[in-house]
Amino acid sequence: MINIKKVGFVFFSALILSVGTLRADEGMWMLPLIQKLNIKKMSEMGFKLSAQDIYDINKSSLKDAVLQFGGGCTAEIISKDGLILTNHHCGYGTIQKLSSVDHNYLQNGFWAKNRDEELPAKGLSVTFLDRFEDVTKEVTEALAGVTEPKAKEEALKTVSDQLTTKAVGENKYLKGRVVSFFGDNQYYLVITKTYSDIRSVGAPPSSIGKFGADTDNWMWPRHTGDFSMFRIYADKDNNPAEFSKDNVAYQPKKFLTISLKGVKQNDPSMILGYPGRTNRFMTSFEVKETSEINNAATILVRGVRQNILMTDMVADPKIRLMYSSKYAGSSNSWKKAIGMNETFAKLKVYERRAAEENTFTNWVSADPARVEKYGQALADVKSAIDGRAKLQFTIKYCTEALNSIELPSAALRFGPKPDEDSREGRGGRPNFSASPSDFYKDYNVATDKKVAKAMITLFKEKVPATDLPDFYKTIGANYQGSIDAYVEAMFSQSVFVSEEKLKAALAGDKKEMENDPAFVTGKNISDAMMKYGKEIEQYRTLYAKGQKQYIAGMLDMKAGQAIYPDANFSMRLTYGKVLNYSPKDGVIYDYVTTLDGVMQKEDPKNWEFVVPDKLKELYNAKDFGQYALKDGRMPVAFLTNNDITGGNSGSPVLNGKGELIGTAFDGNWESMSGDIIFEPSLQRCINVDIRYTLFIMDKFGGAGYLLNEMKISR
């Protein structure tokens, strides 16, 4: 049994799981523990803040100005009237939904000149953190003796509901969820408040907000103005409310002061945000699985699909608008997978993890009591990874290939509802709005048909015949094995190819829709995923048991040292400094880029590097106003060594006084294994300089009036 008191004690220090000494620039730290773990070191580094300035549940603090944006990014409040700043790529999907061929805000940008021109961002919400509460004791007791996965899930939901009710009382605006830390060795209740009336205020054109696109993604030097602005609206009492013309601008507990003083090498920097997932406890067995199965499938399948999408996007501006957001979301993970495999090899991640496991095994073997507690941990993890390899391969290819075909997914979403078991088997499907109008607005039949032919063919080539969904039997029996003929028939006969046909079908006998070829295909895929899921469950259970014991053992082995938990979409603090780096012998990358680099990269024949005429005019006139460097150049981006991952996009980068100096938007290529191992000499966070953001907003976008509601330190 895990010693919860001991685990709790170890929580109050910091641990580096890779070989080496503790470094202040590594760690995604929990806010309630800043006073005990971090504030002394932060003060030594030059931060002028108290722990209460960052996180306080009784008074306003910096955490009240930072929010989760749309579920997958971070944003910050930068004015007294609820103006929020995030990345352009975080707002990309919303901007795309608001766009049309006649009003293409992705291509041309958009700035509301007054509150009435702000555009309702349908389906977008933002979530504030109210507080954390340690509920390890209560949850551990509730889950004692529960081993079956479904029963454990139900028990966790029950205790979570009970704890939430106790914590929030009659406050209908607060919600709670129990979040696991350290592989189910620690639990916190996270209390939040969500606002759903969000409106778009402005964004630069993609030629600025996405400058460099795929080529520059994950790369330094970077010259992207990756930002967009929104506003939160509330009811007359400042509470969350659905969209209404009667709603008013949200009045925040806290908004950030903006600093125009700039940055220099070794300046202290901190980031508050919502990092998504890290795996710093990952074993060598999982490193191999990630590289050889998960990343390999992502690279191959997405590469094929993206080539199809891009060909159609380049040929037709309407299709480009439809698929820009879909393509961007896919290519980001695709390129990350490429970079991760490359850095796994260069940094010898597998070998380093194996060495750590050897150290752990020797430590466990030295004490019979440890052998009893932790002796089976690594063996269980290895058995689970080895046992699930074939299924993991099939599931990954099904998720990446078959689930990326939009027509069968739409058929399941909008057609007759399958039974409960089938719905459970639809994991991994692409996310799109439940509204048919929203879906078909961004759907092109000809493009999806090409994707379908390629994906069904690729899946058949990679997966054993015994694991193929049932529609492959139909291809063999009725279409002489021709995948192209099957796809052509499915698209020509299905009512799900257009909103008009769908509406007509829904007005008739819905039972007939169950025979629709797209619905049948979707159901076959869903059933196959459910089958794979049931077969792999035994390995998930074994893996969870082994991982929990391994992490508990690591905590025990490192008792008295420091530790931070893996990222899990809860708010975290990372602190470090503005810092350059050397990626290889003889090369040193500066910590800052300027508008000079934008002009040097310009290529009018390449859509990724087109520079707007107005930006060139401002550059040639050196009309940079108050945002320029002392030498007259215009700053664009800068580097810090803060520890971030996906979900941190849009996070505020703050100086030693807690003032906003930039917005985090990317990591560098050399740190692509950073979710697994933090590499201090190489890992960097790429940030848009707040001066470039305001310059584009003010001088380029003509929205300087927004400065009037901001608090700016010069």
Closest CA to 221 of 691, 694, 640, 639: 639
Q: Which residues on neighbouring strands pair with residue 574, listed in sequence order?
A: 271
Reply yes or no on whether the pLDDT at 223 is more than 80.
Answer: yes
* Contact in structure between 567 and 275 (CB atoms under 8 Å): yes
Residue 275, domain member (yes or no): no
Q: What is the pLDDT of residue 430?
A: 39
Instruction: At 636, give phi and psi (nearest 5°).
Output: -120, -55
> Is residue 500's pLDDT more than 80?
yes
DSSP codes, 403-436: GG-HHHHHHHHHSSPPPHHHHHTTTTPPP--S-H
Gyration radius of the chain's alpha carbons = 26
CA 31 to chain centre: 20
Is 525 within 8 Å of 398 (Cβ atoms)?
A: yes
Q: Are strands 258-259 and 712-713 parallel, antiparallel or unpaired?
A: parallel
Tally of CA atoms within 13 A in the half-sphere of 223 that contains its CB: 20
Is it the case that residue 12 has pLDDT exceeding 60? Answer: no
**pLDDT in the model for residue 426:** 39
Separation of alpha carbons 490 and 439, rounded Å:
19
CA dihedral (284, 285, 286, 288) positive or negative: positive
Q: What is the set of active-site residues?
A: 89, 226, 649
Residue 211 confidence (pLDDT) above 60: yes
Evaluate if residue 13 carries a pLDDT over 50.
no
Task: With respect to residue 624, please indicate whether it lies within any of the assigned structural domains.
Answer: no
For 409-433, b where at least 16 C-beta lie within 10 A, e where not — what string? bbbbbbbeebeeebeebbebbeebe
Q: What percent of the chain has pLDDT over 90?
A: 90
> Going by C-beta distance under 8 Å and a sequence separation of 6 or more, which residues neighbour residue 408?
402, 518, 519, 521, 522, 525
Angle between helices 517-557 and 349-365 (to 10 degrees): 50
The whole-number pLDDT of residue 16 equals 31
pLDDT given at position 508 = 87
616 CB-contact burial (10 Å; exposed 0-12 / middle 13-18 / buried 19+): middle
Asked if the structure places residue 265 within a domain, the reply is no
Over 53-72, what HEC string results? HHCCCCCCCHHHHEEEECCC
Query: Would you call 262 helix, strand, or coil by DSSP?
Result: coil
Q: How confident is the model at residue 434 (pLDDT cuts 50, 70, 90)?
A: low
What does the mean pLDDT of the chain come to? 93
For the stretch 344-358, pLDDT in tens is 999 999 999 999 999
pLDDT at residue 248 above 50?
A: yes
Span of 5-9, 119-123, 319-323 with lowest mean pLDDT: 5-9
Q: What burial class does residue 696 get, using C-beta atoms within 10 Å of its C-beta: 0-12 exposed, 13-18 middle, 19+ buried?
A: buried
Per DSSP, the three-state class of 395 is helix
Tell whether the model's pLDDT for residue 631 goes beyond 80: yes
Q: State the residue range of the domain holding 352.
A: 284-554
Q: How far is CA 486 from CA 458, 477, 522, in A?
A: 15, 11, 14
536 occurs within a structural domain: yes
Per residue in 289-316, pLDDT (tens digit) is 999 999 999 999 999 999 999 999 999 9
Angle of the 149-168 helix axis to the 517-557 helix axis, nearest 10: 80
What average pLDDT does range 147-153 have in this prediction?
A: 85
Residue 627 and residue 694 in contact, taking contact as beta carbons nearer than 8 Å = yes
For tokens 């979710």, the residue is: 675
Mean pLDDT of 544-548: 96
pLDDT on residue 603:
97
Domain count across the chain = 1
Residue with tokens 């209908």: 172
Cα(63)–Cα(485) distance, rounded to whole angstroms?
A: 56
pLDDT category at 544 given cuts 50, 70, 90 is: very high
Per-residue confidence (pLDDT) for residue 418, from 0 to 100: 54
Rounded CA separation 670/339 (Å):
8
Query: What pLDDT does 417 receive?
Result: 77
Half-sphere exposure of 674 (CA within 13 A, CB side): 30
Residue 374 in tokens:
């932790």
User: What are 267-284's pLDDT values in tens digits?
Assistant: 999 999 999 999 999 999
Flag whether 211 is in a domain.
no
Tokens of 683: 């890992």
Report if residue 703 sits inside a domain: no
User: Which backbone phi and psi does 595 adopt, to 5 degrees?
Assistant: -65, -20
Residue partners of 43: CB distance under 8 A and separation at least 6: none
With beta carbons less than 8 A apart as the criterion, state whether 485 and 336 touch.
Answer: no
Structure tokens at 577: 């400094």
Per-residue pLDDT tens over the stretch 92-126? 999 999 999 999 999 999 999 999 999 999 999 99
Q: By percentage, how much of the chain surpasses pLDDT 70?
A: 94
Closest CA to 547 of 413, 376, 666: 376
pLDDT over 50 (residue 424): no
693 and 682 Cβ atoms separated by less than 8 Å: no
**What's the confidence (pLDDT) of residue 431?**
39
Asked if residue 203 has pLDDT above 90, the reply is yes
Mean pLDDT of the region 401-413: 97
Which residues 6+ apart lie within 8 Å of 455 measured at CB?
301, 304, 305, 401, 402, 404, 405
Residue 490 and residue 449: Cα distance in Å, rounded?
9
In a domain, 578, yes or no: no
In a domain? residue 308: yes
| Helices and strands (H, E) in the chain, number of each type | 27, 23
Confidence check: pLDDT of 226 > 80? yes
Query: What is the pTM assigned to this prediction?
Result: 0.91
Measuring CA to CA, which residue among 61, 142, 121 is closest to residue 658? 61
CB–CB of 485/515 below 8 Å? no
Interior angle at CA 640, CA 635 and CA 644, nearest 5: 125
Task: Find out whether the peptide bond into 268 is cis, omega within 30 degrees of 0.
Answer: no
pLDDT band at 150 (very low <50, low <70, confident <90, very high): confident
The token duo for 222 is: 């970077």
pLDDT at 563: 86
Which tens digit of pLDDT belongs to each residue from 584-617?
999 999 999 999 999 999 999 999 999 999 999 9
Q: Does residue 240 carry a pLDDT above 60?
A: yes
Reported for 52-57, long-range contacts at CB under 8 A and 24+ positions apart, including other chains, are 53/658, 54/272, 54/573, 54/658, 55/31, 55/573, 57/130, 57/131
Q: Is the pLDDT of residue 135 over 70?
A: yes
Residue 24 confidence (pLDDT) above 60? no
